[in-house]
Amino acid sequence: MSQCFKCNAPITIDDRSMRGECSQCGSDIHVCLNCTFYDEGRANKCREPQAEYVKEKDRANYCEYFKLKESKKPTSSKEHAEELWKKLFKKP
């Protein structure tokens, strides 16, 4: 299951579709912030090296590498802390 970056509502969409809106808040779904390749620590904030630069990460775009990220909800605060720790010290 995936979640909207803005309101955390569950969303589903065909990855090939360039248009789509969250049924809860109406924000665009095909945005960098909903993509599995989005990464704050990378150049252009994207792990896909061939993707073109997108200035507005929260607006609809036409990136061909977009893949809707799957949400992973930790079941406890300890698991959440461990997940953040691993993310902080992950190797590129």
Q: What is the pLDDT of residues 1-34, one digit of tens each?
A: 788 889 888 887 765 566 788 888 989 999 999 9
Give the chain's domain count: 1
Query: Which residues, 6 or more positions from 11, have their beta carbon under 8 angstroms from its beta carbon?
Result: 2, 3, 4, 22, 23, 29, 34, 68
Query: What pLDDT score was predicted for residue 22?
Result: 87
Which residues span the domain enclosing 46?
A: 1-92
The C-alpha atoms of residue 64 and residue 35 are separated, in whole angstroms, by 11
* CB-based contact 84:70 (threshold 8 Å): no
- 45 or 72, higher pLDDT: 45
Query: What pLDDT score was predicted for residue 69?
Result: 87
What pLDDT digit, counting tens, does each position of 22-69 carry?
888 989 999 999 999 999 998 899 999 999 999 999 999 999 999 988
